[in-house]
């Protein structure tokens, strides 16, 4: 059994030590109390309140529409359901890119009102002043490089990023800059595995991969994807551990049938 499985509360320092000890870090998203309870009980190291809530909880095509108030609500719910895992919350689009003061204000609200233990923001050099401002205020920051979904309209596609040399070099430089600025970890999304390996070896803070191969210090998936609640979404990097879409729709169909046929409730289920 890993020594880290005995830890009562995972912190940013725990993740750094895990990288040093070469123990892989596990991370999943959660957006509500009930899911957070289950994910935490399963032994996850970190829970991400992703702005992917815009997709899986609200049905938007991109992550852009979700607001800071909505993310704070999700964060409050997850924090109440989490005992052991480190809770990281995304700052949504438009809450940190424009200026460092606004970035700090957004991060402070996420910590004070949302109860998160850290925030995650997308980008490198372009938002370095915002990152520095937040970290200088004592708020832990997780970076996010590669495919950054908040910039999807700039990219125009969800395909793998940094396949060309110039973009790959910039990504490595950005990762090193994030470490210099004081970020405690960085998510690498949809980049070639060899590049992720280079990044992971070039910095002393943990890398958390999603579609970035096996060389990252840890892995993150969207909970709804991992348990198979999203029918039809099947990128190459996703491994489904359950098929809940089929299980749940089947259970609903059976419930409908039982009520229609007057099989539910029966005598034992009545007072």
Active site residue 189: yes
**8 among annotated binding-site residues:** no
Provide the H-helix boundaries in 113-222.
128-136, 152-155, 165-181, 193-202
Same domain, 140 and 260: no
Same domain, 176 and 253: no
In a domain, 1, yes or no: no
In a domain, 4, yes or no: no
Same domain, 120 and 159: yes
Whole-model pTM over 0.75: yes
CA atoms within 13 A on the CB side of 195: 26
Overall number of domains in the chain:
2
Strand extents, DSSP E, the chain: 25-29, 46-49, 86-90, 118-120, 141-146, 185-189, 207-210, 218-221
**128 among annotated binding-site residues:** no
Host domain of residue 149: 12-240
Strand 46-49 to 25-29 pairing:
parallel
| Cβ-based neighbour number of residue 63 at 10 Å | 21
Same domain, 156 and 77: yes
User: pLDDT (tens digit, 0 to 9) for every residue of the chain, 271 residues total?
Assistant: 455 556 789 999 999 999 999 999 999 999 999 999 999 999 999 999 999 999 999 999 999 999 999 999 999 999 999 999 999 999 999 999 989 999 999 999 999 999 999 999 999 999 999 999 999 999 999 999 998 888 877 777 777 888 889 999 999 999 999 999 999 999 999 999 999 999 999 999 999 999 999 999 999 999 999 999 998 888 999 999 999 999 999 999 999 999 999 999 999 999 9
Give the C-alpha distances (Å, rounded to integers) separating 39 from 49, 223, 247.
Answer: 12, 9, 19
CATH number, position 79: 3.20.20.60
What is the per-residue pLDDT for 2? 54
Q: Which of 84, 4, 88 is nearest to 38 (CA)?
A: 84
The angle subtended at Cα 125 by Cα 184 and Cα 185, nearest 5°, is 15
Q: How many helices (H) and strands (E) does the chain have?
A: 11, 8
What is the per-residue pLDDT for 1? 46
Same domain, 234 and 266: no
Same domain, 100 and 137: yes
In a domain, 2, yes or no: no
Q: Which of 121, 58, 130 is nearest to 88 (CA)?
A: 121
**77 among annotated binding-site residues:** no
Same domain, 249 and 139: no
- Cβ-proximal residues to 89 (8 Å cutoff; 6+ apart), any chain: 48, 49, 71, 74, 75, 110, 114, 116, 118, 119, 120
What is the per-residue pLDDT for 13? 98
From 179, 189, 253, 269, active-site residue = 189
Same domain, 206 and 248: no
Distance CA 54, CA 90 (A): 11
Same domain, 142 and 260: no
Same domain, 154 and 260: no
Same domain, 256 and 170: no
Same domain, 265 and 216: no
In a domain, 234, yes or no: yes
In a domain, 210, yes or no: yes
In a domain, 5, yes or no: no
In a domain, 139, yes or no: yes
**51 among annotated binding-site residues:** yes
In a domain, 64, yes or no: yes
**90 among annotated binding-site residues:** yes
């Amino acid at each position: 059994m890993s020594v880290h499985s005995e830890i009562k509360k995972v912190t940013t320092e725990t993740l750094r030590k895990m990288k040093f000890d070469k123990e892989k870090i596990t991370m999943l998203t959660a957006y509500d109390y009930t899911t957070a309870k289950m994910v935490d009980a399963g032994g996850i190291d970190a829970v991400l309140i992703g702005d992917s809530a815009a997709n899986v909880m609200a049905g938007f095509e991109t992550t852009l529409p979700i607001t800071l108030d909505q993310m704070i609500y999700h964060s409050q719910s997850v924090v109440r359901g989490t005992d052991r895992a480190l809770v990281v919350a995304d700052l949504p689009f438009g809450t940190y890119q424009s200026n460092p003061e606004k970035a700090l204000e957004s991060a402070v609200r996420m910590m004070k009102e949302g109860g998160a233990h850290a925030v995650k923001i997308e980008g490198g050099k372009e938002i370095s002043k915002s990152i520095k401002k937040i970290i200088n205020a004592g708020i832990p920051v997780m970076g996010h490089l590669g495919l950054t979904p908040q910039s999807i309209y700039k990219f125009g596609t969800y395909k793998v990023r940094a396949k060309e040399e110039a973009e790959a070099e910039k990504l490595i430089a950005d990762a090193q800059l994030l470490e210099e600025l004081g970020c405690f970890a960085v998510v690498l999304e949809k980049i070639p595995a060899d590049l992720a390996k280079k990044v992971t070896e070039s910095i002393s803070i943990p890398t958390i991969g999603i579609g970035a191969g096996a060389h990252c210090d840890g892995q993150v998936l969207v909970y709804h994807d991992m348990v198979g609640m999203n029918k039809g979404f099947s990128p190459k990097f996703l491994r489904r551990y359950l098929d809940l879409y089929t299980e749940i729709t089947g259970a609903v169909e059976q419930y409908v049938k039982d009520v229609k046929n007057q099989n539910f409730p029966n005598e034992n289920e009545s007072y």
